[in-house]
Amino acid sequence: MGNLYYYILYPHGVLMENLVADNNTTYLSGKHLPKRVYIWDETLRGGEQSPGVIFDIQDKIDISTFMDDIGVAVIDAGFPMMSKGEREAIKILLDMGLKAEIGVTVRSLKDDIDTAIKLGANDIYMFSTTSKFHLHYKHGMTEDECIESVFAASEYAHERGVNFDFISEDTTRSDVDFVIKLLKGIKERGARRLIICDTVSSITPEAMYRFTNHLIRHVGKGPWGVHCHNDFGLAVANTISAVQAGVEYPTLTVNSLGDSSGNPAMEEVIMAVEKLLRVPSGIDTSKLYGLCKLVEERSGVYISPQKPICGFNAYRHESEVHVSGVLAHTGSYEPILPEEVGREREFVLGKHSGPSNVNNLLVTKDIDLTDEQISVVLDTIEEEIKQKRDEKISKFLLQRDRYEKTVLGLPEERFWEIVEEVKDGHLR
């Protein structure tokens, strides 16, 4: 019986439109849902800020091509002021002729804007912090100085004839009246889209809805975007709340890549928007798993088995309760059909397995066993699964720890070795 893990594609399934709770639609009636959501990807820029993640030019070409193929609307190609290599990669992406909008992120500075234009960018995503905390500690600026610099950059970008959006960094910790004044002025100066940020995940989903709704009502209708972080595990929830308030452009990363705890997972937001909010995203969801695996491979950041949509266990059922329920009707425990996101359903033999899974397997070989024999089979499975389990887990965790320390960032001891080599003249 090998390792007692059987992977079977169970073909029975139904479309899930009628399996979302009716109450969900009822309680969404008072929201301000957009008619369409446009997926804005930040994997190549914000996602690469994950410690240890480096996308080379071929990685960026392959990932952006895949995203373009599935219907991603906007792709942030990167921050051109970071390095010469970054500018070379951005130039290649801009010249690829993709259907998606390919733009670049810049600071609210004329030099940044000029650099982006020289690369051939027609779409720039200009950002500036708006919270007193960031203004004071990061830049030594006042709110009035912020307004002056951002308005000057906005006017300059408008004069140069490029499409420019404005990203308000740390918006959720900013003075609301100040943000409204700033965003109104930027909009009057030609900004196409306004993006609010929950930079340190400092807001709850309900507050995010009210905050976003307040800004939209006082600044004016869109298009609007939102950029969230995941320090409290609320990035997806806060993004969905902003969409409920009227935001059309959620900015996302594949597999929740990003600095610290990451950004909202593109695959999770897309399925929540499509299934729970019933708002179209323009994405071919059947290719989401392929995209997630590609980014996992190129980023080197492995996906947790329990992660929604793309995690190894997302469509694997072991317990008798779940297996019997899914065999009766997939909607019993699967709000999203595996084939909708490019997955296959698997029934797994293990400690919690019961007669349903065993009988489902026996039918495929036209074998009959008594209830007593099935019980013996299940007991044997449990015993074999337990054998050397702790040893295998310990070995894996050790390998994982070594990988994280040596691949996801340079070990500090190596840094000091490099310093000594430079001091001694061995490296020039």
CATH of the domain at 74: 3.20.20.70
Split at pLDDT 50, 70, 90, the class of 23 is confident
Do 399 and 280 lie in one domain? The reply is no
Is residue 233 included in any domain, yes or no? yes
Q: What does the pLDDT look like over 258-310, one tens digit per residue?
A: 999 999 999 999 999 999 999 999 999 999 999 999 999 999 999 999 999 99
DSSP 289-306: HHHHHHHHHHH--PPPTT
One-letter amino acid of 328? A
Do 207 and 96 lie in one domain? The reply is yes
Is residue 24 included in any domain, yes or no? no
Is residue 322 included in any domain, yes or no? no
Among 279, 269, 256, CA closest to 341: 269
Rounded distance between C-alpha atoms, residue 368 and residue 359, angstroms: 8
- With 0-12 / 13-18 / 19 or more C-beta atoms within 10 angstroms meaning exposed / middle / buried, residue 367 is exposed
Number of helices (H) and strands (E) in the chain: give both, helices first. Answer: 16, 10
- What DSSP designation does 253 have? B
Q: What does the pLDDT look like over 324-376, one tens digit per residue?
A: 999 888 889 999 999 999 999 999 888 888 899 899 899 999 999 999 999 99
pTM of the model: 0.90
What range defines the domain where residue 135 resides? Answer: 31-299
Indicate the average pLDDT of the chain: 92
Do 188 and 65 lie in one domain? The reply is yes
Do 289 and 419 lie in one domain? The reply is no
- With 0-12 / 13-18 / 19 or more C-beta atoms within 10 angstroms meaning exposed / middle / buried, residue 37 is buried
The predicted model gives 70-78 an average pLDDT of 98
Is residue 66 included in any domain, yes or no? yes
CA distances from 371 to 6, 356, 378, 381 (A): 21, 11, 11, 15
Last residue of a domain, one of 272, 299, 326: 299
Q: What does the pLDDT look like over 402-415, one tens digit per residue?
A: 999 888 988 889 89
The predicted model gives 386-415 an average pLDDT of 90
SS3 169: strand
The reported pLDDT for the residue numbered 13 is 41
Residue 39 makes CB contacts below 8 A (sequence gap 6+) with 71, 72, 73, 74, 250, 252, 266, 269, 270, 281, 282, 283
Split at pLDDT 50, 70, 90, the class of 21 is low
Omega of the bond prior to 51 within 30 degrees of 0, cis?
A: no
DSSP 362-377: HHHTT----HHHHHHH
Distance of CA 22 to the CA centre of its chain: 27
Task: List, in sequence order, every residue forming a beta bridge with 168; answer none if it has no partner.
Answer: 128, 196
Is residue 270 included in any domain, yes or no? yes
The reported pLDDT for the residue numbered 2 is 36
**Cβ neighbour number for residue 76 with a 10 Å cutoff:** 24
Please check whether residue 173 is in contact with residue 209, taking contact to mean a CB–CB distance below 8 angstroms: no
Do 416 and 277 lie in one domain? The reply is no
Do 419 and 281 lie in one domain? The reply is no
